[in-house]
Amino acid sequence: MDRTSLLEERTTDLWNPRIPKMIQAYFEDMERIIKRLRKFAQKNASLWLVVSTSAYAGVEIPVDLILADIGQRNGWFLRDVGVLRYLRSSSQHVKHVEDQTRKSVPLRESVVIFDATKPTSTI
């Protein structure tokens, strides 16, 4: 089951019932941006995105990994996804969740690095 479906099942636990749609719209917008950047990127271009994962109603949204997949689908070559630091969940992410299912989800800030051309192997 994908995370958006899981969130939709937990709508009553969310501080705003429109969060699943917001997440979907964010990734649709990012795909349009990444695709357009690839279209106009020079041969030696690289794209660096610094993003944080998020969580709602105890469901992690791995923003870094999803954007890595989106970039690869749109012609970028993934160089790296590196964790910069670990973060604590915001209380707003879990305060509306029932006590028995309430949990803090470990979050991270990452850098996602793409190259316009496939790197050549040095081995």
Bigger pLDDT: 121 or 69?
69
Residue-level pLDDT at 101: 53
Average per-residue pLDDT in the chain? 87
pLDDT band at 120 (very low <50, low <70, confident <90, very high): confident
Which of 55, 40, 38 has the alpha carbon at shortest distance from 106?
A: 55
What is the DSSP-derived secondary structure letter of residue 75?
T
Q: In 3-state terms, what secondary structure has residue 40?
A: helix
Which of 116, 123, 53 has the alpha carbon at shortest distance from 89?
A: 53
The residues, any chain, with a CB within 8 Å of residue 110's CB and separated by 6 or more, are 50, 51, 52, 53, 64, 81, 82, 83, 84
Residue-level pLDDT at 88: 82
